Structure 1
Amino acid sequence: MNKKTEEFFRRMLYFLPSTEDAYKESIATYGGVLETIIVEGIFMPEIIKLLSEERNINLLDKIFKYFEEVSNEEDAHLMNLFSVTVLEILGNDRAILGTARKYMGTKTIQLQIKADRDLGREVPDFD
């Protein structure tokens, strides 16, 4: 795992401290950090829950501001991980995606649309 990806995981654990035990358990189970498994199975369910409840707006705002920073990264590995986990999962549910769009920055929206297109999904018009 490179430094940018390590930073991503640190930040996700900071935003979502309730995931720390599952994160450590995953590392113990698999003998290391399986990046996509952790993002898809540990972090994203928590983010989807936050979006579905839309109660902790401050936390959502902070997470998506960070996602915008990630979206502007030039690190190819982190960008690929982010696209195929976070952005694709957000596109799995149009209602969740609609809520997420309220918090997304311009670059994050562009990358999420690209992720949907890369999967062959129809891109919804939220305007």
Structure 2
Amino acid sequence: MGKKSEEFFRVMLEFLPSKSNDYIKSIEVYGEVLETVIIEDIFMPDIIKLLSENRNINLLERIFDYFEEVSNCKDDHLINIFSITVLEILGNDREILQLAQQYMGPKTIQLQIEADRGLGRRI
């Protein structure tokens, strides 16, 4: 796992500190950091819940500001992992995606559209 991926997990745990134990347990169970598993199973359910409740606006804004930063980084591995986990999951539910788009920056929106196209979804 590269430095940018490590930073991503550190920042996500700062946003969602209640997920620290699940993160550690995942590493213990699998013997390593399985990036897609951690993002899909640990972080994304909470982000989806935050979006569906649409209450903690400040946290959502901070998370999606960070997602825009990630979307603009030069680390191809992190952008790929981010696209096939975070962005594909957001695209699984059109209502959730519409809520998320309120917080997304332009590069994140572009990558989300590309992720949907990569899955053959209609945009």
Residue in 2 aligned with 1:43? 43
Residue in 1 aligned with 2:8? 8
CA RMSD of aligned residues (A): 0.4
Unaligned runs of 5+ in 2: none
Q: Provide the secondary structure at the position in 2 that maps to 1:104.
A: coil
Count of aligned pairs between the two proteins: 123
TM-score by length of 1: 0.96
For residue 91 of structure 1, report the CA deviation from its aligned partner.
Answer: 0.1
Alignment of structure 1 residues 98-113 onto 2, 5 Å? 98-113=98-113
Alignment of structure 1 residues 1-127 onto 2, 5 Å? 1-123=1-123
Measured against aligned partners, the alpha-carbon deviations of 1:24-70 in whole angstroms (never above 9, x if no partner) come to 11000001101000000000001000000010000000000000000
Matched residues in 2 for 1:21 and 1:51: separation? 22
Amino acid of the structure 2 residue aligned with 1:27: I
Alignment identity in percent?
Answer: 70
Matched residues in 2 for 1:118 and 1:65: separation? 24
For residue 117 of structure 1, report the CA deviation from its aligned partner.
Answer: 0.4
Amino acid of the structure 2 residue aligned with 1:48: I
Moved over 3 A (4+): none
TM-score by length of 2: 0.99
Unaligned runs of 5+ in 1: none
Amino acid of the structure 2 residue aligned with 1:111: L
